[in-house]
Structure 1
Amino acid sequence: MNDNQQNAPAGLALVGDIGGTNARFALWRGGRLDAIEVLACADYPRIEDAAREYLRRIDRPLGDIHSVCLACAGPVGEGDFRFTNNHWVIDRQKFRAELGLSHLLLVNDFSSMAWATVSLDAKHLVCVREGTPQKDRARLIIGPGTGLGVSSLLPTAGGGWEVLPCEGGHVDLPVTSERDFAIWQQLRELHGHVSAERVLCGRGLENLYRISCGIDGVQPKCASAAEIGELAMAGDPYADKVLEHFFLWLARVAGNAALTVGALGGVYITGGIVPRFLDRFRQSGFAEAFATRGKTSGPYLAQVPVWVMTAEHPGLFGAGVALEQALKSGR
C-alpha cells in the first residue's frame, strides 16, 4: 500500500456502469452512491482515461481510490474484457497498476442489477403483483431495455448471495395464442430464430407494433419505441393494445424463467421500458398472465411477488453491493 492509500478516506471506492455509449461513475461508501457523473465513451481513448477524468471532475485525487467495481455490458470472464459496442478493452493487470488499485472487480452489467436487489430501499421498489417471497429461495431479475436482460440471485450459507449471469433474453419466444403465432411467423421470416428479445426490448416493441399493424391493416402512426409508448399514453387505442401485448409476453417469459430457476424469492423487473410506463403496467394483465398456466406450474407461481425497480442508477448501486460482498469474502 502506498502513502496515498494510507491517507485515503476509509471505505471509499469507485464504481462504474459501462455501456456501449455512456460510462456512469460514482463514489461508493457506507452503502451509498455519491458524485454521479456520466461520460461519453467515444470521448476517451481508454477506460483508464475516462476514470481519471471522472476523478478530476469531482476533485478527488487518484490516491483516494483503492477499490473499483465496474459493471460491463457483455459476458465477463476471468481474463481481459473487450466491450461489444465500444472501443474500450479492460486489461485487468494494467488497469490496476495504472490506477494504483488494491482490488478490481468486473461484473456483467445485468448482474449488477441483481446485486442491487439485495439492498435497495423499499421506496425504490413498486409491487405490481402481491405474494409472499421465500427468503431462502432464488430471485429473478429481468429487464427489457436496449435488449432483454435476465439474471438470478441465489442465497448462500452465511447470509451472502451469489449472482448467476445468463443469456435468458435469447430463449425461444413463447407462443400461446393464434395472435402470437401470426406475429411469430413473421418474425421467423425476418430473423430465423425468434428469441424473446425479438419482442421484449425497444426494437422488439417496434417489431411488435409494425407487424401488428400489418396483420390488422392499420396504418402505422409512429416508428420508434418511445413514440409507440407516448402514443399509447396519449390514449391511442391501437398503440395501447400493442403495449398490452408486450406486457403479456413479458409475463409469459418472466413466468417461464421463474419456473426454471425456482424464483420463489420474487421477481424484479428493471430496464428502460417498464418503469417509464409504470402506471399503465400496473393496470395491465401482467400479474394474472404471469401465473396463468398449467395445474402444476400455476400454483407454483401463485405466491411469487413481482416488483418494478425504480431506482435511478441501479447498475451503479449493484456494483457497490457486489464490491462490498467481494471485499468481505476476500475475493
Structure 2
Amino acid sequence: MHLEQPWLIADIGGTNARFALYRPASGFASPQVLPTSEHATLQAAAAHYLQQLGLTEPAVRPRYAAFGIANPITGDWVQMTNHSWQFSISELQSALGLGKLLMLNDFSALALALPHLQAAELQQVGGGVPVPHEAMALIGPGTGLGVSGLLPDGHGGWLALAGEGGHVTLAPFDAVERAVVDYVQARHPHVSAERLLCGGGAGQDMGLPLLHEAVCAVQAIPQQARTAAEITRLGVVGEDAACRLTVDLFCAMLGTMAANLVLSLGARGGCFIGGGIVPRLGSYFAQSPFRRRFEEKGRCSAYLQQVPTYVIHAEYPAFTGAAAALAQWLQTHRQT
C-alpha cells in the first residue's frame, strides 16, 4: 500500500527546480531548491534530491509524485519553453521508479493551492472583497509569465485551468506603451505579454531587461545594460530614473493583463499574483500603478473596483496544489 513512503512533490521553473517530500498525515518536509543550470536533466535533478535524502532504494523511495512545471502539458513529451530540459513523462516515471508521476502545469498547481492559502501568506493591494465560491484569477511573472484560474466545479471543489495565457498578444494601453511595443516588434513580430512581463533568463531576449532597453529607446535615455535584479532594485528605491520608469511600466502593464484575466473569467473571488518578481518589490508594489491600471476599464471599472488583488508571499505554494492534485488522482484511481 506504500503508506509509509512519502510522495515526491516538485515545482519546476526555468531557473529553479524545487523539491519536497509530502505525507498526508504530517505535511511537507525536506524542501530544497536546485538551480536548473546545475543539472543536465530533470531526472538528474530529482535523482540528486532523492540521493541526498537516502531515498534511492525501492523500499524507501517515493512511489508517487506530482510535478508542476512551467510548460504546457499536451502529451507524453515535454520540451520546456524557458529551459533546455526535455523528457518523456512515462520514461521519467520509469527511471525514478514511480508508480505514478502526475505532471501538470506549474500555474495549474499554484491555482489549486489558492483556497488553502492563509491570510498571513497574502498581501492585499487595493480594495475589494472576494465573493465566496466564485472563480479566482492567477497571474505571475517569474522567468516567464504564468497564467491560470480556478473555477468552482459545482460539487464543492475546484477545477484549475491549464492554459498558456502568458503568450497572448500584449495590448498597449497608451502612446508610451504603443511606442514600447513598436520598438520590441521590430525584433519580435509577435509581442506576447510574456515577452515583457517577466524577469527573463536563459539568455533570451525578453522580460525586464528588454523592457528597460525599450523604455530607454522611447524616452531617449542613454542605454545601460541591466539585469532584472538590478532594474527592480534600482527602480524600487528610485536610484535610477530609467529603472524606475521600467518598473512603473511593468506594474501598469501587469495591471492591464490582470484585469483582462479577471474580466475573462468573471473572477469575483479575487486575482492572485504569484511568481518570483512581484513579491520582491515589497511595499512599492502597493504604491505602483498596478492597482490604478487594474481598475481603468471604462464601463467595467466599477466591476473591477470590487475585485480584490493579492500578492502571494507563501514560500512554496505550488507544492500544496500539486499534492492536492495527486491526492485527487489517487482517490479517483482508488490507490493510496
- Give the TM-score, by structure 2 length: 0.87
Mapped pair 1:15 → 2:13: no
- Partners of 2:231 and 2:194 lie apart in 1 by 17
- Partners of 1:165 and 1:310 lie apart in 2 by 22
Q: Does 263-272 or 61-70 show the bigger shift?
A: 61-70
SS of residue paired to 1:59? coil
SS of residue paired to 1:185? helix
Aligned length: 323
Q: Equivalent residue for 2:277?
A: 273
Q: Equivalent residue for 1:67?
A: 64
Q: 1:181 to 1:23 in 2, by over 3 A?
A: closer
Gaps of 5+ in 1: none
* Contact 2:215/2:246 (8 A) holds in 1: yes
Q: Equivalent residue for 2:250?
A: 246
* Contact 2:77/2:86 (8 A) holds in 1: no
* Contact 1:47/1:90 (8 A) holds in 2: no
59, 84, 91: which is aligned to 1:86?
84
199, 218, 222: which is aligned to 1:219?
222
Q: CA deviation at 1:44?
A: 5.3
* Contact 1:21/1:86 (8 A) holds in 2: no
Q: Equivalent residue for 2:321?
A: 318
Q: 1:46 to 1:190 in 2, by over 3 A?
A: closer
Q: CA deviation at 1:190?
A: 2.0
Amino acid at match of 1:89: F
Q: Equivalent residue for 2:48?
A: 53
Cα RMSD (Å) of the superposition? 2.4
Mapped pair 1:166 → 2:166: no
Question: What do residues 4-51 of structure 1 show as CA deviations (whole Å, max 9, x unaligned)?
Answer: x3xx527x3111122345432110123732101233556656544443
Mapped pair 1:109 → 2:106: yes
Mapped pair 1:263 → 2:263: no
Q: CA deviation at 1:236?
A: 2.3
* Contact 1:149/1:168 (8 A) holds in 2: yes
287, 305, 308: which is aligned to 2:308?
305
SS of residue paired to 1:275? helix
Q: 1:168 to 1:123 in 2, by over 3 A?
A: same
Amino acid at match of 1:39: L
188, 205, 209: which is aligned to 1:206?
209
Question: What do residues 37-70 of structure 1 show as CA deviations (whole Å, max 9, x unaligned)?
Answer: 2335566565444433322312335434222101
Q: CA deviation at 1:276?
A: 0.6
- Partners of 1:83 and 1:241 lie apart in 2 by 31
Mapped pair 1:293 → 2:293: no
* Contact 2:236/2:247 (8 A) holds in 1: no
233, 236, 244: which is aligned to 1:233?
236
Q: Does 62-71 or 254-263 show the bigger shift?
A: 62-71
Amino acid at match of 2:261: A
- Give the TM-score, by structure 1 length: 0.88
- Partners of 1:318 and 1:292 lie apart in 2 by 32
* Contact 2:15/2:143 (8 A) holds in 1: no
Q: CA deviation at 1:145?
A: 1.5
* Contact 1:52/1:62 (8 A) holds in 2: no
* Contact 2:12/2:70 (8 A) holds in 1: yes
Gaps of 5+ in 2: 200-205
Q: Does 117-126 or 22-31 show the bigger shift?
A: 22-31
Q: CA deviation at 1:251?
A: 0.5
Q: CA deviation at 1:123?
A: 1.5
- Partners of 1:321 and 1:249 lie apart in 2 by 32
Question: What do residues 73-93 of structure 1 show as CA deviations (whole Å, max 9, x unaligned)?
Answer: 31113434344423441342x
Mapped pair 1:135 → 2:138: no
* Contact 1:66/1:102 (8 A) holds in 2: yes
- Partners of 1:27 and 1:87 lie apart in 2 by 22
Q: Equivalent residue for 1:148?
A: 145
Mapped pair 1:37 → 2:5: no
Q: CA deviation at 1:309?
A: 0.7
Q: Equivalent residue for 1:185?
A: 182
Amino acid at match of 2:68: A
Question: What do residues 108-164 of structure 1 show as CA deviations (whole Å, max 9, x unaligned)?
Answer: 122122122121222211111221212222111101111111111111133211111
SS of residue paired to 2:279? helix
